[in-house]
Chain A
Amino acid sequence: MGITPLRFTGVSQFSQDFQVIVDRTVQIASLPAQLLMNDQQRLIEQKTAMGTLRSAVASLSSSLDELKELGASKALSATVSSSKVRVTLDTSAAEPGVFTISEISSLARRAVMTSASGQASETAGPVAGAGGYLQLVVGGAAHAITLAPDQDHLAGARDAINALGAGVTASLVTADDGVYLSISANQTGAAAIELRTVEDDPGSNLLAVTQAGADAVLKVNGQTVTRPENYIEGAVPGAALTLNALTEAGETITVDLASSRAPLANALKKFATVYNALNEQLGTASTGALAGSSLVKDLQGRMRQIGGQFGEGLVRNLAEIGLPFDQQGVLTFDELSFNLLSAEKFESVFSFLGAEQGGLGSLAGSFREFSDPLTGFMVAEIRSYDEADSRFQTQIDKILERVNSTQQTLLARLQAADVLLARLESQQSLLDASIESMRFSLYGRNDR
């Protein structure tokens, strides 16, 4: 809400004075509102600065998490010699090693069965045995079905099978010569499906094989592995294999799990970037909108912890892994130095970064305390800014409302007074002129 300027429209000789007075009154009345607006503006700047800072802290926390994870997993990555196998690493469980995949003799697939003979229509029957009896067998598990006389047809059998929840789905296929019942397994695997009209009598099976179900079969390091699906866990520690195709005779696929410098180098480079960005923002914040903020001081303290990070192995500080500070406290990633680290020192980098206690990455949590979008200190601070801003706005609105009301009331009264004065002054002029004329008529002159 703003102050609406008003113009005084009086006609007396005092109207100009009145306008000056009204303007002055409004100007003075606006002062507290202006002061509040200034405070509000300062709050908005603080909130914006805190939001920007939170984002930078979150980036650093995320980067430290990444370093911790790479350290814990020893930056393992998988190299696979063929696209017939895809590897998904669980870096928390994987170990370095070489694995050979051979003789992928079968890929897992779903079983599909179709009734050997068709019916004239969906509701033609009967399809069940005596008393409406059917027995569905899925991978050796038998399920008894009894169809009511009015449901003893293909559609009735389909609905009854689907209602069982036996891991298969029944549907009807309409061909040129009739309607057929088709049953598909919901999962891949070698489990067979039968639909018998006589209990435990394979000879009464109504279904013919359209596609036999199959397990995935392969050899890992020469040992046979059989699984009902093509996503194979547990055969290689910490690595899930996805089979895409069969191998040729004599073909061997190599899965090489080894520590790689490239992802670590990328992560360290990113870490240097986000560290410097936060450091710079803290410097700006401490002299700007967030000057004096205890949160900024705390964060600066935690940044110093990073600089003072000390390792107990072959790698003792950041500079030794190619992350030296310059004289201005700017962190630079020297990729060449990192790549020239000896194999022993490279191994030690992992504990320097990923150790649960004292590793560089373990500092991520101390930054997340600030940046967490739900429970972080900085979000709480931003909320308090919002609340203060809301209080300010309420005060400003009240003051401005009163200023406008005061202005309107005073203006109305001043205008009324001015109109009255103007009329009286005009009448007085007329009366004075009349008296002057009368004196002239009575005395021949305008004074006595």
Chain B
Amino acid sequence: MDQAERAIEKLEVANQALADGRPEALALRDEALRRIAGLAVSEAQLCRIEELAAAGLIAIERVRSDRAAILRELQEAEAALHFAAALTGRAGAAVVDVQG
């Protein structure tokens, strides 16, 4: 197996690990990409690398999607805090009762 083949396989493994939700695979992917850079590859190998690049774009989109989910949680937190604001009215009423 030549160097290009091993590097491409390493990149495939790293991509799969990322797809499985393991961000620690980023280091492995870094290493694979560094090896691929500057290598002479066959046409078939180039096609595989292009497919892996497309998969990388999908991974980026998935992270963006996860981030959007975090933002939705932020909105939910806001809603919870609005509920806390309602408590203020009840505490204020107690003072009026005392004065009455």
Could you list which residues of chain A lie within 8 angstroms of chain B, going by C-beta atoms? 14, 21-22, 25, 28-29, 31-32, 35-36, 39, 42-43, 46, 292-295, 381, 384-385, 388, 391-392, 395, 399, 402-403, 406, 410, 413-414, 416-418, 420-421, 423-425, 427-428, 430-435, 437-439, 441-442
Contacts and interface: CB of A to CB of B under 8 A. Distances in A.
A442 B77 contact: no
Contacts of A421: 60, 63-64, 67
Interface string B1-34: 0000000000000000000000100100110011
Contacts, number: 131
A434 B77 contact: no
Contacts of B40: 441
Contacts of A14: 67
B3 to A, nearest CB: 13
Nearest to A46: B95
21 contacts: A14-B67, A25-B77, A28-B81, A32-B81, A32-B87, A35-B88, A36-B87, A39-B92, A381-B99, A385-B98, A388-B94, A388-B98, A392-B91, A410-B70, A410-B73, A423-B30, A427-B26, A431-B52, A432-B53, A434-B36, A438-B41
B91 A39 contact: yes
Contacts of A430: 33-34, 37
Interface of B: 23, 26, 29-30, 33-34, 36-41, 43, 46, 49-50, 52-53, 56-57, 59-60, 63-64, 66-67, 70-71, 73-74, 77-78, 81-82, 84-85, 87-88, 91-92, 94-95, 98-100
B94 A32 contact: no
Contacts of A293: 99
A439 B49 CA distance: 11
Contacts of B67: 14, 414, 417-418, 421
B46 A439 contact: yes
Interface of B is mostly: helix
B49 A431 contact: yes
Contacts of A391: 91, 94
Closest 6 CB pairs of A and B: A32-B85, A29-B81, A384-B98, A35-B88, A417-B67, A32-B84
A78 to B, nearest CB: 50
Given A25-B77, A421-B63, A388 B33 contact: no
A442 B43 contact: yes
B81 A399 contact: yes
Contacts of B59: 424
Nearest to A384: B98
A427 B14 CA distance: 12
B37 A433 contact: yes
Contacts of A439: 46
**Among the interface residues B38, B49, B53, B81, which one has the most CB atoms of the partner chain A within 10 A?**
B81
Nearest to A14: B67
Contacts of A35: 85, 88
Contact of A395 (B23, B43, B82, B91): B91
Nearest to B61: A424
A385 B88 CA distance: 16
B53 A428 contact: yes
Nearest to A383: B98
Contact of B88 (A22, A36, A428): A36
A337 to B, nearest CB: 42
Contacts of A28: 78, 81-82
Contacts of B95: 39, 42-43, 46, 385, 388
Nearest to B43: A442
Contact of B70 (A403, A413, A441): A413
Contacts of A431: 33, 36, 49, 52-53, 56
Given A25-B78, A420-B26, A428-B57, A36 B37 contact: no
A177 B12 CA distance: 122
